[in-house]
Amino acid sequence: RDIPILVSIGYSSCHWCHVMAHESFENEEVASVMNTSQVNIKVDREQHPGVDAVYMEVAQTLTGSGGWPLNVFIDHEGRPFLAVTYLPPDRWLGLITEVNRIWKEDRGRIDEIAVSITEQLSERQFSGDTDPALLPAALMKASLETYDSENPGFTMGSRGMKFPPSQTIDWLLEYGGDEGTEMTLNILTAMMDSGMHDRVGGGFHRYTTDTIWRVPHFEKMTYDNAQIMGLYARAASLMEPGPLGDDLLSAARSTADWFLGEMRVESEDGVFLGYATATDADDPLGEGAYFAWPPSELERVLGGEDANWLAARWNISGEGLLPAADSHGEYEPAVSWIPHPRGASGYPENYRNSDSGDSRREAALILSLKKARRTRPAPARDDKVLTDQNALLLEGFSRLARYGGGEKYRTAAVELAGVLINRSSPQLIRAPGIDAYINDYGYLAMALTQVYSLTGNPLYIDTAEKVAWEAVERLAAGDGAYYSTPIEDRGLYKRAIDEFDGPSPAGQHALGIAFARLYTITGRSEWKEKADSLLSARSYIGSVAPAAAASLVRLASMRTEPFTLVVAGPGGHSKTQELLKEARRLTGPDMMVVAADQAAEAGVTGWAELEGRVGLEQPQLLVCREGNCLLPAFTLEEMMERLTQIGQGR
- In order, the DSSP letters of 80-138 are EEEEE----HHHHHHHHHHHHHHHHH-HHHHHHHHHHHHHHHHH--------GGGHHHH
Residue 320 pLDDT level (bands cut at 50, 70, 90): low
Looking at residue 490, its pLDDT comes to 66
Q: State the average pLDDT over residues 581-608.
A: 95
According to the per-residue pLDDT averaged within each range, which of 126-140, 490-504, 514-528 is highest? 514-528
Looking at residue 282, its pLDDT comes to 84
Could you give the percent of the chain with pLDDT greater than 70?
Answer: 95
Compute the distance between CA of residue 570 and CA of residue 457 in angstroms, rounded to an integer: 15
Q: State the average pLDDT over residues 447-473.
A: 98
Paired with 622 in beta bridges are 566
Q: State the average pLDDT over residues 129-152.
A: 94
Per-residue pLDDT tens digits for 2-27: 999 999 999 988 888 989 999 999 99
Q: State the average pLDDT over residues 360-374.
A: 95
**pLDDT at residue 323 greater than cutoff 60:** no
Looking at residue 160, its pLDDT comes to 79
Looking at residue 127, its pLDDT comes to 65
Angle, alpha carbons 352-175-416 (nearest 5°): 75
Q: State the average pLDDT over residues 89-98.
A: 95
The mean pLDDT of the chain is 92
Compute the distance between CA of residue 597 and CA of residue 586 in angstroms, rounded to an integer: 21
CB within 8 Å of 572: residues ≥ 6 apart: none
Looking at residue 152, its pLDDT comes to 95
More confident residue, 361 or 326: 361
**pLDDT at residue 260 greater than cutoff 80:** yes
**Residue 584: what residue type?**
R
**pLDDT at residue 548 greater than cutoff 70:** yes
* Segments in 259-386 forming alpha helices (H): 295-302, 304-313, 358-373
**Kind plus residue range of the DSSP H or E element containing 628:** strand 628-629
Residue 318 pLDDT level (bands cut at 50, 70, 90): confident
Burial 63-90 (b: 16+ CB within 10 A, else e): eeebebbbbbbbbeebbbbbbbbbbeee
Looking at residue 324, its pLDDT comes to 58
Residue 549 pLDDT level (bands cut at 50, 70, 90): very high
Looking at residue 328, its pLDDT comes to 58
Per-residue pLDDT tens digits for 297-307: 999 999 999 99
Residue 1 pLDDT level (bands cut at 50, 70, 90): confident
**pLDDT at residue 125 greater than cutoff 90:** no
Looking at residue 251, its pLDDT comes to 97
Q: State the average pLDDT over residues 173-189.
A: 96
Residue 121 pLDDT level (bands cut at 50, 70, 90): confident
Compute the distance between CA of residue 58 and CA of residue 9 in angstroms, rounded to an integer: 13
Compute the distance between CA of residue 523 and CA of residue 385 in angstroms, rounded to an integer: 34
Task: Give the lowest-confidence range in 35-49, 146-160, 264-278, 298-312.
Answer: 146-160
Looking at residue 332, its pLDDT comes to 63
Looking at residue 322, its pLDDT comes to 54
- How many C-beta atoms lie closer than 10 Å to residue 569's C-beta? 24
Paired with 84 in beta bridges are 71
Per-residue pLDDT tens digits for 503-514: 999 999 999 999
CB 365 within 8 A of CB 200: no
Could you give the percent of the chain with pLDDT greater than 90?
Answer: 79
Looking at residue 88, its pLDDT comes to 94
